Structure 1
Amino acid sequence: MCLGIPGRIVEITDPANHLAKVDVSGVQRTISVRLLEKDMPEPDDWVLVHVGFAMAKIDEEEARLTLAAVAQLGSAYTDEIEAFDSSQII
């Protein structure tokens, strides 16, 4: 199962290549924000992350509610966080 998980932008690490560091439940990873280039996120913005890409900007309340809901999925949520932790953009 693949989930879109809320993450908070920590920093824009490579603006030319549309890369940003995001924090998802304490796991930090570099992701692509290219799909949001018309509304580029900034540090402390929340985004919905799926397979290493920021798919949409979301507000903090939506992020909080979504994180609470996906945490109730148990192993599906844990598996997704583990997959996120072990992934990287090359």
Structure 2
Amino acid sequence: MCLSVPAKVIEIYADEWRAKVDYLGSAKTVGIGMLDEVRPDQYVLVHAGEAIQIIDEQSALESLHYWKEVLEL
């Protein structure tokens, strides 16, 4: 089974293949090469260090709520 966690895009790096994201309160660098036109303030699903899908804010926030509950954050 594979899991992905929503992350908010903070910054797109100049190489346009990587982005800084807020990943459950931590800043992480993830690959964005599999997605078209990722922009700051969008939410993406991250799996194994790669953004695999752009998702809407409401879905991301709902999912983050459950992740925080499970992880007791």
Q: Could you tell me the TM-score, scaled by structure 2's length?
A: 0.85
- 1-structure distance, mates of 2:14, 2:19: 7
What is the letter of the counterpart of residue 55 of structure 1?
I
- 1-structure distance, mates of 2:20, 2:62: 22
- 1-structure distance, mates of 2:13, 2:50: 14
Aligned CA-pair RMSD: 2.0
Aligned positions of 1:14-53 closer than 5 A: 14-16=14-16, 18-36=17-35, 39-53=36-50
Calculate percent identity across the aligned residue pairs. 37
Higher share of residues assigned strand: 2
Shift of 1:73: 2.5
Determine the structure 2 residue equivalent to 1:9: 9
Structure having the higher Rg: 1
Structure 1 SS opposite 2:70: coil
Q: Which runs of 5+ in 2 are unaligned?
A: none
Work out whether residues 4 and 50 of structure 1, in 8 Å CA contact, stay in contact via their aligned partners in 2. yes
Count of equivalent residues: 73
Shift of 1:8: 0.5
- 2-structure distance, mates of 1:11, 1:71: 23
**Residue 69 (structure 2) pairs with residue 72 (structure 1):** yes
Higher share of residues assigned helix: 1
Shift of 1:69: 1.9
Q: Could you tell me the TM-score, scaled by structure 1's length?
A: 0.70
Shift of 1:2: 5.5
Shift of 1:51: 0.9
What is the letter of the counterpart of residue 32 of structure 2?
V
